[in-house]
Amino acid sequence: MITICSFVFGPFQENTYVLYDETKECVIIDPGNNTASEDKKMSDFISENNLIVKRLILTHGHIDHINGNKYVFDTYGHLPEVHQSDVYFIEKHLSSSTMYGLPAQQSPMPETYLKEGDVIEFGNSKLQTIHTPGHSPGSITFYHVEEKFMIAGDVLFYGSIGRTDLPMGNMDDLISSIKNKLFNLGDDMKVYNGHGQSTTIGFEKLHNPFLI
Protein backbone atom coordinates (compact mmCIF):
# COMPACT_ATOMS: atom_id res chain seq x y z
CA MET A 1 0.00 0.00 0.00
CA ILE A 2 1.42 3.33 -1.07
CA THR A 3 1.58 6.34 1.23
CA ILE A 4 1.53 9.68 -0.56
CA CYS A 5 3.29 12.57 1.11
CA SER A 6 3.14 16.04 -0.43
CA PHE A 7 5.09 19.24 0.18
CA VAL A 8 4.31 22.71 -1.12
CA PHE A 9 7.56 24.30 -2.29
CA GLY A 10 8.79 27.48 -3.92
CA PRO A 11 7.26 30.78 -5.04
CA PHE A 12 4.91 28.95 -7.42
CA GLN A 13 3.50 26.87 -4.51
CA GLU A 14 4.31 23.68 -6.36
CA ASN A 15 3.32 20.27 -4.97
CA THR A 16 6.26 17.89 -4.56
CA TYR A 17 5.44 14.24 -3.84
CA VAL A 18 7.23 11.43 -2.06
CA LEU A 19 5.54 8.03 -2.52
CA TYR A 20 6.58 5.05 -0.43
CA ASP A 21 5.26 1.67 0.63
CA GLU A 22 5.71 -0.84 3.45
CA THR A 23 9.20 -1.72 2.22
CA LYS A 24 10.29 1.92 2.84
CA GLU A 25 11.41 2.29 -0.77
CA CYS A 26 10.24 5.56 -2.27
CA VAL A 27 10.18 7.70 -5.40
CA ILE A 28 10.43 11.48 -5.48
CA ILE A 29 8.15 13.18 -8.01
CA ASP A 30 8.66 16.81 -9.14
CA PRO A 31 11.04 18.18 -6.50
CA GLY A 32 10.27 21.91 -6.37
CA ASN A 33 12.49 22.63 -3.36
CA ASN A 34 14.94 25.45 -3.99
CA THR A 35 15.90 26.85 -0.60
CA ALA A 36 18.04 25.26 2.11
CA SER A 37 15.03 25.04 4.45
CA GLU A 38 12.92 23.32 1.79
CA ASP A 39 15.79 20.92 1.00
CA LYS A 40 15.99 20.10 4.71
CA LYS A 41 12.24 19.61 4.99
CA MET A 42 12.39 16.98 2.25
CA SER A 43 15.49 15.17 3.47
CA ASP A 44 14.35 15.24 7.13
CA PHE A 45 11.10 13.57 6.09
CA ILE A 46 13.00 10.93 4.15
CA SER A 47 15.48 10.20 6.94
CA GLU A 48 12.90 10.32 9.77
CA ASN A 49 10.84 7.71 7.93
CA ASN A 50 13.94 5.64 7.04
CA LEU A 51 13.05 5.83 3.35
CA ILE A 52 15.29 4.59 0.55
CA VAL A 53 15.05 6.78 -2.54
CA LYS A 54 14.87 4.62 -5.67
CA ARG A 55 14.10 7.10 -8.46
CA LEU A 56 13.54 10.76 -9.29
CA ILE A 57 10.69 11.04 -11.79
CA LEU A 58 9.10 14.14 -13.32
CA THR A 59 5.59 14.79 -14.61
CA HIS A 60 7.15 17.48 -16.81
CA GLY A 61 10.15 19.79 -17.10
CA HIS A 62 8.90 23.24 -16.01
CA ILE A 63 11.16 25.09 -13.60
CA ASP A 64 8.89 24.93 -10.56
CA HIS A 65 8.92 21.12 -10.80
CA ILE A 66 12.67 20.66 -11.25
CA ASN A 67 14.37 23.15 -8.95
CA GLY A 68 15.18 20.38 -6.46
CA ASN A 69 16.70 18.04 -9.07
CA LYS A 70 20.27 19.03 -8.22
CA TYR A 71 19.71 18.60 -4.49
CA VAL A 72 18.12 15.17 -5.00
CA PHE A 73 20.98 14.11 -7.28
CA ASP A 74 23.64 15.39 -4.88
CA THR A 75 21.94 13.79 -1.86
CA TYR A 76 20.52 10.53 -3.22
CA GLY A 77 22.44 10.01 -6.47
CA HIS A 78 19.48 9.83 -8.84
CA LEU A 79 19.30 11.69 -12.14
CA PRO A 80 15.89 13.02 -13.14
CA GLU A 81 13.78 10.93 -15.52
CA VAL A 82 11.46 12.84 -17.84
CA HIS A 83 9.74 12.42 -21.21
CA GLN A 84 12.13 13.22 -24.05
CA SER A 85 9.89 16.03 -25.34
CA ASP A 86 10.44 18.00 -22.11
CA VAL A 87 14.24 17.80 -22.06
CA TYR A 88 14.19 21.27 -23.68
CA PHE A 89 12.92 22.78 -20.42
CA ILE A 90 15.67 21.16 -18.37
CA GLU A 91 18.30 22.48 -20.78
CA LYS A 92 16.75 25.95 -20.35
CA HIS A 93 16.47 25.66 -16.57
CA LEU A 94 18.87 28.46 -15.68
CA SER A 95 17.76 30.92 -18.36
CA SER A 96 14.10 30.34 -17.41
CA SER A 97 14.91 30.91 -13.75
CA THR A 98 16.71 34.15 -14.60
CA MET A 99 13.67 35.28 -16.58
CA TYR A 100 11.51 34.82 -13.46
CA GLY A 101 14.18 36.42 -11.25
CA LEU A 102 14.62 33.21 -9.27
CA PRO A 103 17.84 31.73 -7.96
CA ALA A 104 18.46 28.22 -9.25
CA GLN A 105 21.12 25.57 -9.56
CA GLN A 106 21.20 23.93 -12.98
CA SER A 107 19.43 20.59 -12.96
CA PRO A 108 21.54 17.60 -13.97
CA MET A 109 20.46 16.26 -17.36
CA PRO A 110 18.45 13.05 -17.63
CA GLU A 111 20.04 9.96 -19.13
CA THR A 112 16.91 7.82 -19.21
CA TYR A 113 13.53 8.94 -20.49
CA LEU A 114 9.94 8.19 -19.57
CA LYS A 115 7.31 7.17 -22.10
CA GLU A 116 3.75 5.91 -22.13
CA GLY A 117 3.53 2.32 -20.93
CA ASP A 118 6.54 2.47 -18.63
CA VAL A 119 6.12 0.84 -15.24
CA ILE A 120 7.79 2.58 -12.31
CA GLU A 121 8.66 -0.01 -9.67
CA PHE A 122 9.66 0.64 -6.07
CA GLY A 123 9.31 -1.77 -3.16
CA ASN A 124 6.17 -3.86 -3.74
CA SER A 125 4.56 -1.11 -5.80
CA LYS A 126 4.11 -0.33 -9.47
CA LEU A 127 3.03 2.95 -11.04
CA GLN A 128 1.78 3.03 -14.61
CA THR A 129 2.80 5.81 -16.99
CA ILE A 130 0.62 7.61 -19.52
CA HIS A 131 1.66 10.41 -21.91
CA THR A 132 -0.67 13.40 -21.43
CA PRO A 133 0.70 16.27 -23.59
CA GLY A 134 -0.77 19.77 -23.85
CA HIS A 135 0.49 21.73 -20.84
CA SER A 136 3.92 20.68 -22.07
CA PRO A 137 4.68 18.28 -24.94
CA GLY A 138 6.21 15.70 -22.62
CA SER A 139 3.73 15.78 -19.76
CA ILE A 140 3.42 12.40 -18.06
CA THR A 141 0.77 11.18 -15.61
CA PHE A 142 1.65 8.42 -13.17
CA TYR A 143 -1.24 6.28 -11.88
CA HIS A 144 -2.03 3.25 -9.77
CA VAL A 145 -4.93 1.08 -10.93
CA GLU A 146 -5.84 -0.73 -7.69
CA GLU A 147 -5.14 2.13 -5.30
CA LYS A 148 -7.02 4.49 -7.61
CA PHE A 149 -4.89 7.58 -7.68
CA MET A 150 -2.88 9.55 -10.21
CA ILE A 151 -0.11 12.13 -10.02
CA ALA A 152 -1.10 14.38 -12.90
CA GLY A 153 1.37 17.27 -12.71
CA ASP A 154 -0.09 20.40 -14.30
CA VAL A 155 -2.50 18.66 -16.70
CA LEU A 156 -5.66 18.76 -14.59
CA PHE A 157 -6.44 20.82 -11.48
CA TYR A 158 -9.37 21.12 -9.09
CA GLY A 159 -11.86 23.06 -11.24
CA SER A 160 -9.23 24.03 -13.79
CA ILE A 161 -6.73 22.77 -16.34
CA GLY A 162 -3.06 23.45 -17.08
CA ARG A 163 -1.82 26.57 -18.86
CA THR A 164 -1.12 26.22 -22.56
CA ASP A 165 0.46 29.64 -23.14
CA LEU A 166 3.96 28.48 -22.19
CA PRO A 167 6.41 27.32 -24.91
CA MET A 168 5.10 24.28 -26.82
CA GLY A 169 1.79 24.26 -24.95
CA ASN A 170 -1.23 23.13 -26.97
CA MET A 171 -4.87 23.45 -25.85
CA ASP A 172 -6.26 20.81 -28.23
CA ASP A 173 -3.69 18.30 -27.03
CA LEU A 174 -4.44 19.14 -23.40
CA ILE A 175 -8.21 18.68 -23.73
CA SER A 176 -7.64 15.44 -25.65
CA SER A 177 -5.22 14.14 -23.00
CA ILE A 178 -7.77 14.78 -20.26
CA LYS A 179 -10.92 13.58 -22.03
CA ASN A 180 -9.46 10.64 -23.97
CA LYS A 181 -6.87 9.42 -21.47
CA LEU A 182 -7.39 10.60 -17.87
CA PHE A 183 -11.20 10.36 -18.00
CA ASN A 184 -10.90 6.71 -19.07
CA LEU A 185 -9.09 5.78 -15.86
CA GLY A 186 -12.32 5.86 -13.82
CA ASP A 187 -14.49 8.37 -11.96
CA ASP A 188 -13.22 7.22 -8.56
CA MET A 189 -9.60 7.98 -9.42
CA LYS A 190 -8.13 10.57 -7.05
CA VAL A 191 -6.07 13.23 -8.81
CA TYR A 192 -3.00 14.68 -7.10
CA ASN A 193 -1.82 17.64 -9.10
CA GLY A 194 1.06 20.05 -9.37
CA HIS A 195 -0.61 23.00 -7.64
CA GLY A 196 -3.51 23.31 -5.21
CA GLN A 197 -5.84 20.73 -3.75
CA SER A 198 -6.45 17.22 -5.02
CA THR A 199 -9.65 16.22 -6.80
CA THR A 200 -11.25 13.22 -8.50
CA ILE A 201 -11.98 12.41 -12.13
CA GLY A 202 -15.69 12.09 -11.36
CA PHE A 203 -15.84 15.55 -9.77
CA GLU A 204 -14.01 17.18 -12.69
CA LYS A 205 -16.26 15.48 -15.27
CA LEU A 206 -19.26 17.10 -13.59
CA HIS A 207 -17.92 20.46 -12.46
CA ASN A 208 -14.83 21.53 -14.41
CA PRO A 209 -15.89 24.50 -16.59
CA PHE A 210 -13.11 23.81 -19.10
CA LEU A 211 -14.27 20.25 -19.71
CA ILE A 212 -18.08 20.25 -19.61
Residue ranges in contact with Zn ion by CB under 5 A: 62, 154
Residue nearest to Zn ion as judged by C-beta position = 62
CB atoms within 10 A of CB 130: 21
Residue closer to Zn ion (CB basis): 61 or 108: 61
CB 20 within 8 A of CB 52: no
Residue closer to Zn ion (CB basis): 98 or 124: 98
From the CB of 138, what's the least distance to Zn ion, in Å?
11
At residue 131, the 3 state secondary structure works out as: strand
Gap between the terminal Cα atoms of the chain: 33
CB atoms within 10 A of CB 81: 18
Residue closer to Zn ion (CB basis): 108 or 169: 169
From the CB of 206, what's the least distance to Zn ion, in Å?
25
Query: Largest Cα–Cα distance in the chain?
Result: 45
Sign of CA dihedral 183, 185, 189, 194: negative
Residue closer to Zn ion (CB basis): 12 or 45: 12
From the CB of 148, what's the least distance to Zn ion, in Å?
24
From the CB of 74, what's the least distance to Zn ion, in Å?
24
From the CB of 128, what's the least distance to Zn ion, in Å?
21
C-alpha atoms less than 13 angstroms from C-alpha of 140 in its C-beta half-sphere: 29
Residue closer to Zn ion (CB basis): 154 or 204: 154
